[in-house]
Chains A and B, each alone.
Chain A
Amino acid sequence: MSLLQASPGRLGGRPAEAPARHKPSWRARWNAWAPGYLLVLPAVLLIALMMVYPVVQTVYFSVNKVQLPSFRTTFVGLDNFARILSNPDTWPLVQRTLIWVVGIVVCRIALGLAAAMVFNARVPGIVWLRVLVILPWTIPSVVGANLWRWIFQTDSGVLNQTLRSWGLESWALNWLGHPDTAMMAVIIAYTWAGYPFVMLLILARMQGIPQELYEAARIDGANAWQQFRYITLPSLKAVLLVALILEIVSGLNSFDTLVIMTGGGPAKATQIWGLEIYKTAFTAFNLGGASALSVLMFIAVLVMFVFYGAANKAAQRQRKEVA
């Protein structure tokens, strides 16, 4: 019997003539599904190995002291976590990470939405303009970060030179050299590099919104704001949620822009959780501590997405009830 014949209705074969009134036995169901499972098993194993092994390894390291270069471990229980939580630098680190993530998520989504609305216009040459605006996203992050580093140079940077030439001397700040402005400067650079992706996501969805909805709204006397508020925004809800998740993950994982522009400085002003993990692992060579930091971040992200999932389900239920 071929595999295809053995997997009725699942792999393209004809549906089995199963008894309609009786629930199929465990054996019958196994016979029906087993070939399919067998076919996908190698891929599932590979993916599980790739996803699960590093997580397990990280959790294991987090409760151990790891000796280099042999990676020999000594169990220390929750000592690595206790050190992190009792470190006076941890709370400021959390604050900076939150500021960074919220900053880049808000800026990228706001700018992406605004750009999508502008480039959704149907005017001649708009395709070329769209290509142009996507360029920052295509530039390697190392190049982009160095570019912004030069722009923000205090004495000779383009930004301050321009501000000074306009007579705005007091606006020409020490962007990357002062803790109060360094985070903002890096957020701007990171937003610039990533907003075209958000724009593309939103633009793709916007072009799928039926024009009839807007025509009907206009006939009903809706102004531009009302059209945006009651047609565009609700239609974009799903894609905005996707963008939100992707940008949160991107923010937490961000590394190269921060390293190149500030290295986490000055005075740790731009050192976020991900950078701390890297420095703990590869500057302090403390793999146990770095793993504990990673586990804490993993838990925080997990909790956040559990809340997000619950909120999303509640919203769907509410929509169904309204409908």
Chain B
Amino acid sequence: MDDPFRHDRRQVLGGMLAAGLAAAAPGSLAAQTKPRGTVTIWVGSWWAPQVPITQKLWEADYPDVKLAFEPLPINGYLDKFTTAALGGTPPDVIDLDSTWVSTVAAKGLLQKLDDVAAKLDVSDISQAVWLAGRFKDAQYAIPARGGPEVYYYNKTVFDRAGVPYPTAGWTHDDLLQIAQKLTIKGEQYGIGVPADASDPSNVLSLFCPILWHFGGDFLTKDNKAPAINTPASVKAITYWSDFYVKYGVAPEGTPNFSTTRDLMPLFEANKLGLISSSSNTFDALLQKPNVKWGAVLSPDKINRAGGWTMGVPVGAKNPDAAKLFLAWLCRPEIQAQVMNRFPASLKARKLPPWNASKWDIFVEAEPFARSVPAVAGWFEMQTALITNLQKVLVKQLSPQQAADAAAAEIKKIIAENA
């Protein structure tokens, strides 16, 4: 099959362009391959306000290709994509949470994007989220949104309880104490603990840093065995679940709560003191002038590397134009204008509006960000873990029992995906 990028490279080598113009390649490529048609793009619902500006900028560069965005709610987002992909009707571009890429790639639902990656200045892209788009030494997704996790605090809730706001350098011991001081049962709660398996990434936003802080992990270093039931991991599960089970500093209903659907409304209603989240929440709160809030680095600084990456599904009807779009979106000046969440491009972060001081917190947090394992079957593993974590919250299992049950399931998943 003809590879348009290889064809382009030949022409470049033929003397039309000098080597090293990788960043400018998307534009030149378009001029030569004359892409046409429509590119269907599935994205999270937060993209909705950015769709007109994205289409406008794109049309200026590529008037013959239309971008058709479909913003979707986060709950059940991946299920919708996999259902469509297996049914043979995937979009041309799918925006994926960085924790999903390995699972989807392992099932053969994404095309390799090494040809696109070869044209990009990788040093300009946040490494944590770039690596999350890799699986078995191949690039399957190109990041557009980066952003480590930080903590958001509600000033009204803090003021009502007479508790000083958290500051950088606070610890997990401080977190527990603050959450306890903030809680006035039935009126306001210290911390939001997402635990709904339909929005697993946000569950991990809080859980991962706690797990890593206590020295635990999901898998062993070689990714060949579970490590979730080691003493350190069990200690972390105990700390995490005690917010709800022992101390009651998380709202009632926590076992079924997700960040976007349940915790954010409570935070905005001044009933919740702290939530852990990405730049997603930063932008969402900027839109709520009535909420008095602040953001602070995670306790002990450790956090989960968030981010969203875009892939081209197998079966995409317009893959060439889709790849062109991915390369176009990586241009710093485009990403700076188009994104309403922390961009993955380091150069974009130095352009307006991202060079404003309010975004510095994400730059400060990034060196302490870690990613979840990029292994086959990861999605199943996190579902197994979250289901067992829920069992701790509803007191069906102790942390050790839940960890052992999760480890047994993870071991089986590793074997099945070997």
Contact = CB atoms under 8 A, between A and B. Distances in A.
Interface stretch (A151-159, A206-214, A217-225, A241-249): A151-159
A68 B108 contact: yes
Interface residues of B, number: 38
Contact of A267 (B109, B254, B394): B394
Contacts of A284: 380, 383
Interface of A: 67-70, 153-156, 174-179, 182, 259-260, 262-269, 278-279, 281-285, 287
A179 B392 CA distance: 12
Nearest to A278: B79
B255 interface: yes
A155 B198 contact: no
A68 B109 CA distance: 8
B109 A155 contact: no
Contact of A262 (B103, B251, B256): B256
Contact of A283 (B196, B253, B257, B383): B383
Contacts of B195: 266
B196 A69 contact: no
Contacts of B255: 177-178, 265-267
Given A68-B109, A70-B108, A285 B254 contact: no
Interface stretch (B17-25, B52-60, B82-90, B232-240): B82-90
Chain A facing B: main interface SS: loop
Given A282-B83, A283-B379, A283-B380, A267 B390 contact: yes
B351 interface: no
A269 B396 CA distance: 11
B393 A266 contact: yes
Contacts of B383: 279, 283-284
A212 B167 CA distance: 82
23 contacts: A67-B108, A68-B107, A69-B107, A69-B108, A153-B262, A154-B253, A155-B251, A155-B271, A174-B253, A176-B253, A177-B254, A259-B76, A259-B198, A263-B196, A265-B196, A265-B256, A266-B255, A266-B393, A267-B390, A268-B387, A281-B86, A283-B383, A285-B107
B186 interface: yes
Nearest to A68: B107
B391 interface: yes
Closest 6 CB pairs of A and B: A154-B252, A266-B255, A177-B253, A263-B198, A154-B253, A267-B391
Interface string B187-223: 0000000011110000000000000000000000000
Contact of A179 (B75, B186, B396): B396
B269 interface: yes
A281 B82 CA distance: 9
A94 to B, nearest CB: 18
Contacts of B196: 263, 265
A74 to B, nearest CB: 13
A174 B393 CA distance: 12
A25 to B, nearest CB: 50
Given A267-B391, A267-B394, A68 B86 contact: yes
Contacts of B251: 154-155
